[in-house]
Amino acid sequence: MLERYETLLSALPQTVWTLAPDGTVTLPMAATAPAPAGLWHPGADALWMDSVHPKDRDRFGRVWREATRERSLVDTVVRVRLGDDPDRYRHLKLVAVPVPDGGAEPEWIGTVSDAEDDWRIRKREQLLAGMAAVPAARDLSEAFRMTAAAVVPDLVDAIAIFRVPQAAGYGSRAFDAPSVTRVAVAPGLPELPPLGEHFRLGPAADEAVNSQETMLFAFPAGAPPGHLISDVSTGWLREAGATCLALLPVVVDGRTVALASAANCRGNPPPDETDLALLQDVLRHMDGPLRRTLELQSVRDMALALQQSFLAPPPEVEEATLTALYHPADAAAEVGGDWYDAVRLPDGSVALTIGDIAGHDMAAATAMGRVNSMLRGLAYDGGPTASPAATLSRLDRVVQALDTPSLITAVHALLRPGPRDGRRLVLSNAGHPPPLLIPSDAPPRFLHDPARTDPPLCVADSVPRTDLHAVLRGGDILVLYTDGLVEVPGTDIDHSLQRLCERAETLSRRGLPLPDLIRSLLPAFPDRRDDIAVIALQTSPRTRNDA
């Protein structure tokens, strides 16, 4: 029976070993194939554990201690150093069981077999399955975040992914303006410091981008080649005790669109050929999500350019300051529906409009341009005595008759010369958030109750519309805005309007110039899903001669 057993073992690619209670490891029968190196035993000598990859030591130690305490099966895969090369490791499968003999410490018998190919196949499938779940993100940072999280800390200890600017070309300084950055670091490592708008990557990054080839730099722990990389990266690599830096370009349709910068730290050896190949596989599978995301961003850029072409700078107005701004949403293709406009009429009156067309795409941007042009023409044709309610009614009829109807909300206002210290205001609101008035000598307030608005345009024929009247005195500010300024998903709109009023009151006390005050009203929350348009007018304050 023993001869038959030894004959069987000689045909298997594995090593059988025994571990005596005193910690002595013996090999009763080795396979004819080269024996895997690095058997581990829990004796006083730590040389065997030193052969285990640094990233696997804590986990492997916990597995062994638990099995020893419970006297249970050990079945795990661990990376073990091959021979005397400090940077070459291979995955081995360790299976061991205790042999009960009634003593306090059992004997163990186990096998070690090569698991490199199986581990690589399973790990590749696991990583690519995670990448398959990456959709066309609203921006590239989402795809980068999921990629970075997938490879840290199993393959590398830290990774930063930089987007290469669209304008960068081969042979040029590709990183004059690196944009989106995603960083993932293993627990215990220092955070990457803020990069800042003047951050530049070094010459090694330029070479990787232009050559589209992976580059690996190995160096003593904490001693990176500073002449090849940026000062910020050099400082972080030193602090983290990095042992290497790998630069992996991400190529889509023949163009480098991103650069992944990966490092191992704190005594962990550089990634071997297997790890680098897996990293390259993962980054190659970003091709689909990145292509779709870039297509969405291209649509967004075109929509934004089209929309901004219709948003002319406000005209100069006598005895008043007029300012406007437009902020697109923080998401791909989320551009299109919001607009503002100001028309100076011959007698010194000013027609102001703020509006929003349903949708966030190229169609919404195109419809916005048509509606804006129609309303501008109607406002000028109606002149300073026209009723804003009548003007919106005319617009409603024209749009429904000549154009593809879309749900449109708008505020159209006329500011006419009035008292010596201000202007008379008449406006009509078609389903839009209420205008905000910031008096020079009183708390901010809305010009009407949010519930007192007429229906939006294009909802029905012959909708009755009303005019609302007010007076702007010297130093008062009128703010017209779209719903992106106040609407936050999951938040009650009345609460958001109240917060806008409170924010305006705080800012008005600082005496800010009108453009600065309006910019300060913008919400600070990240990942904004809607665009914002604002137009505001401040009447000139009275002087002593006017009083």
pLDDT for residue 123:
81
Amino acid 196: pLDDT: 65
The answer to whether 289 and 137 have CB atoms below 8 angstroms apart is yes
pLDDT tens column, 86-109: 667 888 899 999 987 766 778 888
Q: For residue 301, what pLDDT is reported? A: 67
Ranked by mean pLDDT, the top range of 122-126, 164-168, 308-312 is 122-126
Question: Which of 150, 389, 348, 390 lies closest to 260, judged by CA?
Answer: 150
| Peptide bond preceding 194 in cis form (omega within 30 of 0) | no
Residue 69 confidence (pLDDT) above 90: no
Residue 298 has pLDDT above 90, yes or no: no
3 state DSSP class of 494: helix
Q: Which is more confident, 277 or 289?
A: 277
So what's the pLDDT on residue 200? 77
How far, in Å, are 294, 336, 470, 535 from residue 528 at the CA level?
Answer: 19, 15, 33, 19
Which pLDDT belongs to residue 31? 47
**Across 214-232, average pLDDT:** 91
Exposure of 446 in the CB half-sphere (CA atoms within 13 A)? 20
Q: Which residue has the higher pLDDT, 415 or 178?
A: 415
d(CA 337, CA 326): 11
Band of residue 152 on the pLDDT scale cut at 50, 70, 90:
confident
Residue type for 543, please? T
Distances (CA, A) of 18 to 11, 21, 110: 19, 10, 6
Mean pLDDT, the chain, rounded, equals: 81
Q: Which run of H or E residues covers position 472?
A: strand 468-473
Tens of pLDDT, residues 366-413? 788 788 889 999 999 988 889 999 999 999 999 988 876 678 999 999
DSSP letter for 34, please: P
- 265 touches 219 (CB < 8 A): no
Residue 30 is predicted with a pLDDT of 52
Tens digits of per-residue pLDDT, 127-143?
Answer: 777 666 555 445 566 66
**Residue 17 confidence class, pLDDT cut points 50, 70, 90:** confident
Instruction: Quote the DSSP letter at residue 27.
Output: E
Written as six digits, the tokens of 443 are: 């708390």
Tokens of 45: 């000598």
Rg (CA), the chain: 34
Q: Is the pLDDT of residue 346 over 90?
A: no
- Give the residue, 148 or 389, on which the prediction is more confident: 389
Question: How buried is 187 (Cβ within 10 angstroms: 0-12 exposed, 13-18 middle, 19+ buried)?
Answer: exposed
Question: What residues does 79 pair with on adjacent strands?
Answer: 91
